[in-house]
Amino acid sequence: MIRRVTRLLAAVAGAVLATTCALLLTGPAAARAAGPGPKLAPAPAGVDITGDRLDQPLQLRADTHPAEVNAVMDQVSWLAKTGQQRGPEAQDLGPKYTVVVLTGGVAIKTYDLYPLAKGGPRIYRPAKQPDLSKTRAGWFFGRLNMSETLRSVGVPLERQFDTLSGGIGGGERVLPEETLNPAQDIDAAMSELQRLLLLNVGVVVVITAGLAGIALLVRRRTR
């Protein structure tokens, strides 16, 4: 009886040991066959804007607002390595808007934009950047369409009719339609021309009358 129980226990132990070894050997192979788990998609690039009259950061991402992200990036992507060390006086800067550039959900660059600064829009690039890159702090003249660009992407700024829609060195003037009426300009020019002609005729008549009077006076004295 004891021998039979011993044999039974040995058989059970052998079966358990064999099953354990099989699981240990097939486990890694099955995991490799299943392949790696699904990878998380990287966060899209974009910009965050904070500043005057913005209760919450204005978050723009390239996957949902590509045109807006490109427009904001166009305002800061051209900056040179070295800017002016001294900027305008604080009272001349106007409202400030901080633009943070993100890649993969991580902030890499930051800029301070002053679209309504006296003398033209200004940009300040701090020396301390989120990506810890070596950058020299400096002031730069911004693009003339900075205010309209920020307004178009959602920043609460009033429309500026005297700005340019292009960048530095050129662009298209944004003016009200009534100021670009060619017929009105032609009528005004013709009216001014008529006034000028009448004035010239009057001057000629006065000069002629004066010369005639002088000639008559000289003739009487010489008789």
pLDDT, one tens digit per residue, over 134-182 is: 899 999 999 999 999 999 999 999 998 755 554 444 444 444 555 445 5
Averaged over 20-28, what is the pLDDT? Answer: 52
Proportion of the chain above pLDDT 70, given as a percent: 70
Residues in contact with 140: Cβ distance below 8 Å, sequence separation at least 6, in sequence order: 79, 80, 83, 84, 122, 123, 124, 125
186 pLDDT more than 80: no
- Which residue did the predictor score with more confidence, 7 or 53? 53
For residue 86, give the nearest of 139, 143, 142 by alpha carbon.
Answer: 139
Lowest-confidence region among 29-38, 108-117, 141-150: 29-38
Predicted TM-score (pTM) above 0.85: no
What is the domain partition of the chain in residue ranges?
46-160
Confidence band (pLDDT; 50, 70, 90) for 3? low
- Which residue did the predictor score with more confidence, 101 or 37? 101
Cα–Cα distance measured from residue 160 to residue 162, given in angstroms and rounded to the nearest whole number: 6
Cα–Cα distance measured from residue 173 to residue 165, given in angstroms and rounded to the nearest whole number: 6
- Which residue did the predictor score with more confidence, 117 or 162? 117
Q: What's the confidence (pLDDT) of residue 31?
A: 45
